[in-house]
Amino acid sequence: MATEETETTVNQSYAVTIPAAVREHLDLEPGDRLQWSIDEDGRLVAEIVRERYGLADDIEPIDMGETDAVEVTESYEWS
């Protein structure tokens, strides 16, 4: 992959599509972010910031027992 080159076009809203081979090689998924910078040689660098959806979906809730939370005793109508 390191020697393969791919090319994409910047569209009118300045968006680009990351080629499938690059996405697969880098294991990019929806929700991941890219942090953009320009190095000292003027090259564009994109660093992956992982933001996987559903990351905490498998965490079980913990019973905290009784709390000192205020109980709602009246209902209110919003206008």
What tens digit of pLDDT does each residue of 39-61 get?
999 999 999 987 666 566 667 77
Token output for 7: 């090319």
SS3 20: helix
Residues 6+ apart with CB under 8 A from 1: 21, 22, 25
SS3 34: strand
Mean pLDDT, range 17-37, rounded to an integer: 91
pTM above 0.75, yes or no: no
User: What sign does the dihedral 66-70-76-79 (CA atoms) show?
Assistant: negative
* Residue 2, H or E segment: none
- What integer pLDDT is reported at residue 50 of this predicted model? 78
Mean pLDDT, range 52-71, rounded to an integer: 68
